[in-house]
Structures are given as C-alpha cells and as structure tokens.
Structure 1
Amino acid sequence: MRYKFLALPLVFVSCLAQAQDASLLAGAMRVDQNEDDTSFAVALGYTHHINKYLSVSADYLNEGHPKLHHRDGLGAQLWLRTPVPERGWSFAAGFGPYYYFDTTTGNGSFTDYRNEHGWGQLMSLSAKYHLASNVYLETRLAHTHGITSHDTTMLLFGAGYELGSQPRAIRLQNAEKGDNTLMLLAGRSIVNSFKSETATSYGVEYRRTVNPNVEWSVILMSEGKVDAAERKGVSGQVWLLRPFTERTVLEMGFGAYAMRDQLDRTDANDERESHVAPIASIGMRYRINDTWRAQLTWSRVITNYERDSDVFMLGAGVAF
C-alpha cells in the first residue's frame, strides 16, 4: 500500500513533459480540525492545457509546520476552466489525488518522530489575471481532504509564466552536443525530523540523453554524516525534460535508490543496513555553452523506516 504512489509521479512527469504553465504560490494554511493551528503554505505547479476548457496539473505542495506535523506532498489535478484571454481574468476548479509525506510523532512531543506516507484528495479554486506578457497573477484556495491526521485549507497568492510551445529546434539545441553528461554535485541533505538535521552531501552523476525530452541517470551519492548516522548509495532515475528558454531546461526524475545506512557510527556492533527506496527529484539545468552545464536539483528519499530526507545538490559538468 505504501508504494502505490509510484503511479503518481508518472502522471506528474507526463504533465511536466508537455507543461504550458509554471507557477509559484505562497500563503497561509489552517488546520480544519483546529482553526487556531495555522502555518505557512507553498505550492509549485506545472499545467498542461488539454483544450479550451480542460487542463491537467502536477503540483508540489508544502503544508507548513502546524503543531506536531511537517507535511508536504505531490498532487495531480484535473481542471475545468474558462478560456484564457490575451489579457484579463480566467477562473478554474481542480480536483485530484494527493500523496503526502508527513513528519509527525507517536508520543505527543518533539522528542520522537515518524515519517507517514499516504493518500488524500486535493481540490482547488483558482483566479488568474493574465498580463499582456506571458506572466499571470494567481489567487488560489486549496484544500486537502481524507487524510488521517488532519485536513487543511490554504489561501495562496503568486505568479505564473505561460511557457507556450517550444520549437523542436530549441529542444534539439538543448541536447545537441553529446548524448552524455558527467556532473560533480555538492549540497545539503536534511533529515525529515522535527529537528531537521543537516549535513554536507556530495555526488557524481552520469546522465544519458534518450531524446530531447527523456534522459536517464546514475548517481553515486553520500548524504553526509548527521550526528551518529551516515548514509550513502547509488540511485537510478528516468528524467522528463521541458525546455524553459533556449538555455534552461526544467526536469523531473523518478527512480530507485539503493543505500547503505549506519544509524549509529559510535557503536562498533551497529552494522550498516541495506535498503532500497523510491526517490523523486525536481531540477533545472542551464546550458552554459556547447560543453559545460550547470544544474540544481532537489530530491526526496522516501523510506519505510522513518529516515526520509531532502537532498539539495548544485552541480557543474561537461557534455560529451
């Protein structure tokens, strides 16, 4: 049951490959079961217009930090919308599945935590004002429902950009020099606990281009040392790409992460444990010239033994 979310990133990725809109929203969140329990909220979305009245979106939602919960998740929504004008208002209503990651507690305090995963529903109402350029301003009311711990309601404000259709020549240009990329990576890993312990992470990535919209990669990665714990391993991911400009590509990856985890390095009898966990990533790559590339990625490691983590990596490498 825990890994039924495998289907959701595939929907998410398919949307990204054809996305026409990208948006970033932020605002406030309220726990429905306790109106005094409030926090921030952030939403990142990609939308593909099916026709004049229908759209599908893929969304990352961070529901903030209400008491004893740090929750975020991935959603996919089907939208019924009004036609988009060259300038002016458009309105939409969306509904779809939501797979969440919740850092919560089992004993009513911050001294202990667990990582819960599960399904709910995400529903939204949106009002956009389209400017003369490709930019629009958006107000969105979003609601998560059907989650064991609590439902939430969010009021979000932000902006989006209409990506439009990238000519095939631009898509080819982003991958024209070399089918291979070798990248050195470094950044920070964050444990999904109430303390959010951090460590220095680093890695080496080999990536192979299948076509202008699809790549696969192998990444050797160390998540660093957090207190007495240390984890490293190798991940394999399939990536879907969406050119954003002539030099910039948005990307999403999904795959598996085989790791060796030592939870207590101070204990000589504590042997490293082997695990295989799903990993999902969102990133952006910049083509400096025909040879050099720069890359920024965020990856979520999704475990079944209370060791979820976020890994942020900045990289530079060569295409050949």
Structure 2
Amino acid sequence: MTRDSVNTRYKFLALPLVFVSCLAQAQDASLLAGGMRLDQDKDDTSFAVALGYTHHINKYVSVSADYLNEGHPRQHHRDGLGSQLWLHTAFPTRGWSVAAGFGPYYYFDTNTGNGTLADYRNDHGWGQLMSVSLKYHLASSAYLETRLSHTHGITSHDTTMLLFGAGYELRNLPRGIRLQNAERGDKLLMLLAGRSIVNSLASETAASYGLEYRRTVNPNVEWSVILMSEGKVDAAERKGVSGQVWLLRPFTERTVLEMGFGAYAMRDQLDRKDPKAERENHVAPIASIGMRYRISDSLRAQLTWSRVITSYERDSDVFMLGAGVAF
C-alpha cells in the first residue's frame, strides 16, 4: 500500500462517522463485551469489546457508529471504527426486539511484520461489519443485549464475536440544560494528563500531558486546539499540536458525550540514543471519543481517548483526564 493510498483512506475514515453523527443526535449508547474467534483458526480466541451510538430513523430503521476492540489473538492486536445500518422490529416499552445490521469497518491492525514481536507494523484498511442483535427492553429506558458480529473482507483475518451487555436510551434534555453544558461562544481551558500507549505488540506506555483550548460553535459542535506530549517510550519521544472538530450529545443533565476528528502535527524523535538521529515532522489524522462533566458553572472535568493514525508504523492511543475552567 502506497503512502498516497493510505492518506486517501485516512480522509475517508471520517465520512461514515461524521455522517452518522450529523444525521441527528444519537438516541442510545451501549457497551458490550465478550469473546472473539478467528475464522481461519478456530482455536485462536481472545476478548472483544464494543461501544456504540445509535440513532433511530424510524421504528424499523436505525444507524449506528461503533468502536470495536477485537482483542489480542496470536500476533495481532486489532480494533476499528464502523458504521452500520440496522433493520429491526419495533421497540416495545418492555419486551424483546431483534435486529440485523451491515456497514463499512475501518480497522487498525498491529501485527508482526516479519514474524517477530520487535518488528511490528500498523496496518489500516477497509472491511465489512455485519451483526445480528437480540435486545430485552426494560421499563427504565435501558435494555440488555446479546449481539453476534462478524468482520469480513480484511486481508489478515476475519473474526466472529459474541457480545453481551447493556444500553441506555438517551433523553432529549431541555434546551436550557443543554446550553449550561455547551452554549455558543463558550470557551474552555483544560489541563490534561494521562498515559500514551504505542500500538506495538509490546504496548509500551509513557506519561502524557496536554493543554487544551475549546470553543463552542453550538450545543452540538465544538472545535479544539491541543498542545500534547506523548512522553518518552524507550528511545522514542513525540509531541505536537492537534486541531479537532467535536460532535456533542448530552447524556445526563451534567454529562456530555463527545466524538472528535482532526489532524495532529507532530515532531517525532524515534531514536534519542543516537546523537545523529534527526527529529521527524509528520501530520497524521487523530480520532477521539470522550465524556465531559459539568462540576459547576465554571468548572469542568473531562476524560478522552484519542487514536493517532500514522503512516510510518507509529500509531498510538492517548488516554487523558483533564480539569479546567469555562469562561
């Protein structure tokens, strides 16, 4: 795969997720966990986790944005972002519903490039995600779910996942409450700290730090600039600045769910032990999922996960916990 084709695919990565989020606000959120199996090697199994946001177009059709972690089978660490169109029975106030979904899946696969743990690579590409689901709806606006999902059309391996979990139907909060969390013209300044994890098979970690400035466009959209240091991992060190656009959905009166996508301009030193090694400049896509909590009129707390998507085998996950002021 050439660098140009990889970069082109990065650009298209945002399209299904932005389309899902812009179509209308998500109507429920779900968290599922279970196990996965490689279709090519049925003895190779691992864990699996799925996080989903779903909007109901009508009582028989829905569309979702999904994050999947397909676990750690032998010589592979893979996860991805998908979007599915669902056909389902009408949702009862209390009782059962069934559904089937299908859509595109953009995966991130860390694997052994030449068969050794030290020589890894980060592969990215498109596949298909298909699912069948059985839900039991509770009177409390929550539901229990069993889901069977399958990834297909991926070069390295197809997988089948059996997942169990729960979801919660999001309420349409009054405009006044939504404006307390995000009103046009609001500004946020956040101090961030957490951990960065290199997407290698050894998953090296380091302390990460950041300073974030945000500006609210409307109660559903924000933009941000983040100065970030991913810390020092073995002989490597990376820092830079990212700009992202965020789509927001109120979860409770004080909590907002967030999805962001943008670009990350970074300066990377891959070998600090070599005095002759030059620092490299790169620009890479960055995708984020987060949650923000309104402590008071002026204080906010925030938790975010960001995926840095590189073209030179240096993907990373950055988990940040932040606190700051609104002004």
- 1:209 is aligned, of 177, 193, 216, to 216
Task: State the match for 2:155 in structure 1.
Answer: 148
Alignment of 1:1-320 (within 5 A): 1-3=5-7, 4-16=9-21, 18-176=25-183, 179-320=186-327
1:260 is aligned with what amino acid? R
Query: Does the CA-based 8 Å contact 1:98-1:119 persist in structure 2?
Result: yes
User: Separation in 2 of the partners of 1:206 and 1:111?
Assistant: 37
Query: Does the CA-based 8 Å contact 1:16-1:47 persist in structure 2?
Result: no
Q: Taking structure 2 as the reference length, what is the TM-score of the superposition? A: 0.96
- Alpha-carbon offset, residue 10 of structure 1: 3.7
User: SS of 2:253's equivalent?
Assistant: coil
User: Separation in 2 of the partners of 1:221 and 1:155?
Assistant: 37
1:156 is aligned with what amino acid? L
1:188 is aligned with what amino acid? R
User: Separation in 1 of the partners of 2:123 and 2:186?
Assistant: 39
- Alpha-carbon offset, residue 11 of structure 1: 2.8
User: SS of 1:36's equivalent?
Assistant: coil
Query: Does the CA-based 8 Å contact 1:177-1:290 persist in structure 2?
Result: no
2:14 is aligned with what amino acid? P
Structure 1 residues without counterparts, runs of 5 or longer: none
Could you list the per-position Cα deviations for residues 274-296 of structure 1 after superposition, in whole angstroms to 9, with x for gaps in the alignment?
00000000000000011000000
Q: Number of matched residues?
A: 320
2:239 is aligned with what amino acid? K
User: Separation in 2 of the partners of 1:138 and 1:208?
Assistant: 37
- Alpha-carbon offset, residue 142 of structure 1: 0.1
User: Separation in 1 of the partners of 2:204 and 2:220?
Assistant: 35
User: SS of 1:34's equivalent?
Assistant: coil
**Percent of aligned positions with the same letter in both sequences?**
82
Structure 2 residues without counterparts, runs of 5 or longer: none
User: SS of 1:118's equivalent?
Assistant: strand
Query: Does the CA-based 8 Å contact 1:177-1:319 persist in structure 2?
Result: no
User: SS of 1:76's equivalent?
Assistant: strand
Query: Does the CA-based 8 Å contact 1:16-1:242 persist in structure 2?
Result: no
Could you list the per-position Cα deviations for residues 111-132 of structure 1 after superposition, in whole angstroms to 9, with x for gaps in the alignment?
2100000000000000000001
Query: Does the CA-based 8 Å contact 1:5-1:99 persist in structure 2?
Result: no
- Alpha-carbon offset, residue 178 of structure 1: 6.0
User: Separation in 1 of the partners of 2:253 and 2:184?
Assistant: 14
User: Separation in 2 of the partners of 1:260 and 1:185?
Assistant: 19
- Alpha-carbon offset, residue 106 of structure 1: 1.7
User: SS of 1:303's equivalent?
Assistant: coil
User: Separation in 1 of the partners of 2:14 and 2:293?
Assistant: 23
Consecutive aligned runs of 4 or more in structure 1 exceeding 6 Å deviation:
none
Could you list the per-position Cα deviations for residues 256-312 of structure 1 after superposition, in whole angstroms to 9, with x for gaps in the alignment?
000000011111100100000000000000000110000000000000000000000
The 1:289–1:177 alpha-carbon spacing in structure 2 relative to 1, beyond 3 Å, is: farther
User: Separation in 2 of the partners of 1:83 and 1:183?
Assistant: 43
